[in-house]
Amino acid sequence: DQQVKQNSPSLSVQEGRISILNCDYTNSMFDYFLWYKKYPAEGPTFLISISSIKDKNEDGRFTVFLNKSAKHLSLHIVPSQPGDSAVYFCAASRGRGNTPLVFGKGTRLSVIA
Amino acid sequence: DADVTQTPRNRITKTGKRIMLECSQTKGHDRMYWYRQDPGLGLRLIYYSFDVKDINKGEISDGYSVSRQAQAKFSLSLESAIPNQTALYFCATSDFTGGVNNEQFFGPGTRLTVL
Protein backbone atom coordinates (compact mmCIF):
# COMPACT_ATOMS: atom_id res chain seq x y z
CA ASP A 1 0.00 0.00 0.00
CA GLN A 2 1.57 3.26 -1.14
CA GLN A 3 1.82 5.74 1.73
CA VAL A 4 3.20 8.60 -0.38
CA LYS A 5 1.65 9.18 -3.78
CA GLN A 6 2.68 11.37 -6.67
CA ASN A 7 -0.06 10.83 -9.20
CA SER A 8 1.46 12.81 -12.06
CA PRO A 9 4.38 10.94 -13.64
CA SER A 10 5.32 13.96 -15.73
CA LEU A 11 4.72 17.68 -16.11
CA SER A 12 5.73 20.16 -18.82
CA VAL A 13 5.91 23.89 -18.13
CA GLN A 14 7.04 26.91 -20.12
CA GLU A 15 10.11 28.74 -18.88
CA GLY A 16 9.15 31.62 -16.59
CA ARG A 17 5.80 30.10 -15.61
CA ILE A 18 4.89 28.39 -12.34
CA SER A 19 5.47 24.66 -11.84
CA ILE A 20 3.22 22.93 -9.33
CA LEU A 21 4.07 19.41 -8.24
CA ASN A 22 1.63 17.54 -6.02
CA CYS A 23 1.95 14.83 -3.40
CA ASP A 24 -0.60 13.00 -1.25
CA TYR A 25 0.01 10.83 1.79
CA THR A 26 -2.10 8.36 3.69
CA ASN A 27 -0.27 7.94 7.02
CA SER A 28 -1.48 10.56 9.50
CA MET A 29 1.58 9.86 11.66
CA PHE A 30 3.90 11.52 9.13
CA ASP A 31 5.12 14.84 10.47
CA TYR A 32 8.08 15.73 8.25
CA PHE A 33 7.83 16.17 4.51
CA LEU A 34 10.65 16.72 2.04
CA TRP A 35 11.18 17.30 -1.64
CA TYR A 36 14.19 15.90 -3.46
CA LYS A 37 15.41 16.67 -6.94
CA LYS A 38 17.20 14.15 -9.13
CA TYR A 39 19.17 14.66 -12.30
CA PRO A 40 20.15 11.69 -14.52
CA ALA A 41 23.27 9.83 -13.37
CA GLU A 42 23.25 11.61 -10.00
CA GLY A 43 21.86 10.84 -6.57
CA PRO A 44 18.80 12.67 -5.26
CA THR A 45 19.56 16.03 -3.63
CA PHE A 46 17.52 17.69 -0.93
CA LEU A 47 15.47 20.67 -2.06
CA ILE A 48 13.12 21.85 0.67
CA SER A 49 11.24 20.47 3.68
CA ILE A 50 8.33 21.30 5.94
CA SER A 51 7.23 20.06 9.33
CA SER A 52 3.63 19.43 10.24
CA ILE A 53 3.54 22.45 12.54
CA LYS A 54 3.77 24.72 9.50
CA ASP A 55 1.63 25.10 6.41
CA LYS A 56 4.17 26.87 4.21
CA ASN A 57 7.92 27.04 3.78
CA GLU A 58 9.80 29.16 1.24
CA ASP A 59 13.34 29.03 -0.06
CA GLY A 60 13.99 31.36 -2.96
CA ARG A 61 12.00 30.21 -5.98
CA PHE A 62 10.74 27.13 -4.16
CA THR A 63 7.72 27.02 -1.83
CA VAL A 64 6.17 23.98 -0.23
CA PHE A 65 2.57 24.08 1.00
CA LEU A 66 1.13 21.55 3.44
CA ASN A 67 -2.58 20.86 3.92
CA LYS A 68 -2.76 18.42 6.83
CA SER A 69 -6.52 17.97 6.74
CA ALA A 70 -6.33 16.89 3.09
CA LYS A 71 -3.04 15.00 3.60
CA HIS A 72 -1.66 16.90 0.64
CA LEU A 73 1.46 18.89 -0.09
CA SER A 74 2.62 20.75 -3.14
CA LEU A 75 5.86 22.22 -4.41
CA HIS A 76 5.70 25.51 -6.31
CA ILE A 77 8.59 26.67 -8.45
CA VAL A 78 8.38 30.29 -9.60
CA PRO A 79 9.68 31.21 -12.10
CA SER A 80 10.53 27.87 -13.66
CA GLN A 81 13.90 27.61 -15.39
CA PRO A 82 15.27 25.02 -17.85
CA GLY A 83 17.76 23.88 -15.17
CA ASP A 84 14.79 22.82 -13.04
CA SER A 85 14.11 19.97 -15.46
CA ALA A 86 14.57 16.86 -13.31
CA VAL A 87 12.66 14.18 -11.45
CA TYR A 88 11.15 15.43 -8.18
CA PHE A 89 10.48 13.05 -5.31
CA CYS A 90 8.19 13.73 -2.40
CA ALA A 91 9.16 12.02 0.87
CA ALA A 92 7.73 11.76 4.38
CA SER A 93 8.76 10.49 7.79
CA ARG A 94 7.47 10.01 11.31
CA GLY A 95 9.51 11.83 13.87
CA ARG A 96 12.78 13.65 13.50
CA GLY A 97 15.63 11.30 12.62
CA ASN A 98 13.73 8.33 13.99
CA THR A 99 12.42 6.56 10.94
CA PRO A 100 13.51 6.22 7.31
CA LEU A 101 11.97 8.41 4.66
CA VAL A 102 9.13 7.00 2.56
CA PHE A 103 9.31 8.20 -1.04
CA GLY A 104 6.73 8.72 -3.75
CA LYS A 105 7.30 7.48 -7.29
CA GLY A 106 8.45 10.84 -8.56
CA THR A 107 7.31 13.41 -11.11
CA ARG A 108 9.45 14.26 -14.13
CA LEU A 109 9.39 18.02 -14.71
CA SER A 110 10.34 19.40 -18.10
CA VAL A 111 10.79 23.16 -18.38
CA ILE A 112 10.60 24.23 -21.99
CA ALA A 113 12.56 27.29 -23.11
CA ASP B 1 35.52 15.32 -2.09
CA ALA B 2 32.14 13.61 -2.11
CA ASP B 3 30.64 13.00 1.33
CA VAL B 4 28.89 9.76 0.33
CA THR B 5 30.69 7.52 -2.15
CA GLN B 6 29.54 4.32 -3.81
CA THR B 7 31.58 1.66 -5.58
CA PRO B 8 31.32 0.47 -8.25
CA ARG B 9 29.40 3.10 -10.20
CA ASN B 10 28.43 0.62 -12.89
CA ARG B 11 28.37 -3.17 -12.85
CA ILE B 12 27.21 -5.81 -15.29
CA THR B 13 26.96 -9.34 -13.98
CA LYS B 14 25.32 -12.65 -14.75
CA THR B 15 22.44 -14.45 -13.12
CA GLY B 16 23.55 -16.43 -10.07
CA LYS B 17 26.66 -14.39 -9.32
CA ARG B 18 27.33 -12.85 -5.91
CA ILE B 19 27.66 -9.08 -5.99
CA MET B 20 28.67 -6.57 -3.33
CA LEU B 21 27.97 -2.86 -3.54
CA GLU B 22 29.89 -0.65 -1.16
CA CYS B 23 29.10 2.68 0.45
CA SER B 24 31.38 4.95 2.45
CA GLN B 25 30.66 8.29 4.06
CA THR B 26 32.72 11.06 5.62
CA LYS B 27 29.80 12.98 7.08
CA GLY B 28 30.11 11.36 10.52
CA HIS B 29 26.49 10.21 10.38
CA ASP B 30 25.42 7.17 12.32
CA ARG B 31 22.45 6.23 10.12
CA MET B 32 22.84 4.63 6.71
CA TYR B 33 20.37 3.33 4.13
CA TRP B 34 20.20 1.36 0.89
CA TYR B 35 17.52 2.13 -1.71
CA ARG B 36 16.82 0.93 -5.21
CA GLN B 37 15.24 2.95 -7.97
CA ASP B 38 13.27 1.40 -10.79
CA PRO B 39 11.56 3.36 -13.57
CA GLY B 40 8.11 4.43 -12.42
CA LEU B 41 8.55 2.96 -8.94
CA GLY B 42 10.49 5.69 -7.18
CA LEU B 43 12.93 4.94 -4.37
CA ARG B 44 12.28 1.83 -2.32
CA LEU B 45 14.07 1.06 0.94
CA ILE B 46 16.03 -2.22 1.05
CA TYR B 47 17.82 -2.09 4.43
CA TYR B 48 18.81 0.53 6.95
CA SER B 49 21.13 0.76 9.93
CA PHE B 50 20.92 3.23 12.80
CA ASP B 51 24.35 2.31 14.18
CA VAL B 52 27.04 -0.34 13.77
CA LYS B 53 25.14 -3.01 15.72
CA ASP B 54 21.73 -2.20 14.27
CA ILE B 55 20.37 -3.65 11.00
CA ASN B 56 16.75 -3.36 9.88
CA LYS B 57 14.85 -4.69 6.88
CA GLY B 58 13.12 -2.26 4.62
CA GLU B 59 10.27 -2.62 2.18
CA ILE B 60 12.06 -4.93 -0.28
CA SER B 61 14.81 -6.85 1.57
CA ASP B 62 14.25 -10.29 0.01
CA GLY B 63 17.28 -11.39 -2.04
CA TYR B 64 19.58 -8.86 -0.35
CA SER B 65 21.82 -8.77 2.71
CA VAL B 66 23.86 -5.98 4.30
CA SER B 67 26.88 -5.51 6.50
CA ARG B 68 27.76 -2.46 8.60
CA GLN B 69 31.50 -2.86 8.92
CA ALA B 70 32.06 0.48 10.63
CA GLN B 71 30.17 3.67 11.25
CA ALA B 72 31.35 4.96 7.88
CA LYS B 73 30.80 1.81 5.80
CA PHE B 74 27.63 -0.02 4.77
CA SER B 75 27.68 -2.69 2.08
CA LEU B 76 24.83 -4.35 0.20
CA SER B 77 25.13 -7.90 -1.13
CA LEU B 78 23.14 -9.83 -3.67
CA GLU B 79 23.90 -13.45 -2.82
CA SER B 80 22.64 -14.82 -6.13
CA ALA B 81 21.78 -12.06 -8.56
CA ILE B 82 18.68 -12.33 -10.74
CA PRO B 83 17.61 -10.15 -13.71
CA ASN B 84 14.82 -8.36 -11.82
CA GLN B 85 17.47 -6.93 -9.50
CA THR B 86 18.64 -4.79 -12.41
CA ALA B 87 18.20 -1.26 -11.05
CA LEU B 88 19.88 1.87 -9.76
CA TYR B 89 21.06 1.46 -6.17
CA PHE B 90 21.54 4.41 -3.83
CA CYS B 91 23.17 4.64 -0.45
CA ALA B 92 22.12 7.43 1.90
CA THR B 93 23.08 8.74 5.34
CA SER B 94 21.48 10.86 8.01
CA ASP B 95 22.24 12.26 11.42
CA PHE B 96 20.48 10.75 14.44
CA THR B 97 19.04 14.17 15.31
CA GLY B 98 17.57 14.54 11.87
CA GLY B 99 19.68 17.61 11.23
CA VAL B 100 18.16 20.93 10.26
CA ASN B 101 15.80 19.53 7.65
CA ASN B 102 15.40 15.88 8.71
CA GLU B 103 17.08 15.02 5.43
CA GLN B 104 19.07 12.12 4.10
CA PHE B 105 22.18 12.62 1.98
CA PHE B 106 22.53 10.39 -1.06
CA GLY B 107 25.49 8.92 -2.88
CA PRO B 108 25.81 9.08 -6.68
CA GLY B 109 24.34 5.62 -7.22
CA THR B 110 25.40 2.28 -8.70
CA ARG B 111 23.84 1.09 -11.93
CA LEU B 112 23.58 -2.70 -11.73
CA THR B 113 22.65 -4.86 -14.70
CA VAL B 114 22.01 -8.58 -14.22
CA LEU B 115 22.02 -10.56 -17.45
User: What does the mean pLDDT of chain A come to?
Assistant: 95
d(CA A63, CA A44): 18
Task: Encode pLDDT of A98-107 as tens digits.
Answer: 788 999 999 9
Nearest chain A CA: its distance from B9 CA (Å):
10
Instruction: Name the band, by pLDDT with cuts 50, 70 and 90, for residue B96.
Output: confident
For residue B114, the distance in angstroms to the closest alpha carbon of chain A comes to 18
pLDDT in tens, A21-62: 999 999 999 999 999 999 998 999 999 999 999 999 999 999
Instruction: Give B-chain residues touching A43 at CB under 8 angstroms.
Output: 4, 90, 92, 106-109
What single string gives the DSSP state of each residue in B26-85? -S--SEEEEEEEETTTEEEEEEEEEETTEEEE-TT-TT-EEEEEETTEEEEEESS--GGG
Q: Taking CB atoms and an 8 Å limit, are B94 and A103 in contact across chains?
A: no
Using alpha carbons only, how large is chain A's radius of gyration in Å?
A: 13
The upper half-sphere exposure of residue B30, i.e. CA atoms within 13 Å in the direction of its Cβ, equals 12
pLDDT at residue number B4: 97
Instruction: Considering only the beta carbons, identify the residue of B40, B42, B105 that sits closest to A103.
Output: B42
Three-state DSSP class for A44? coil
CB contact under 8 A, A89 and B42: yes
Under 8 Å between Cβ of B59 and B10: no
Instruction: Say yes or no for a CB contact (<8 Å) between B102 and A93.
Output: yes
Distances (CA, A) of A66 to A37, A109, B42, B51: 18, 20, 21, 32
Closest chain B C-alpha to A94 CA, distance in angstroms: 10
Distance separating alpha carbons of residues A45 and A43, to the nearest angstrom: 6
Is residue A100 reached through a cis peptide bond, with omega within 30 degrees of 0 on the bond before it? no
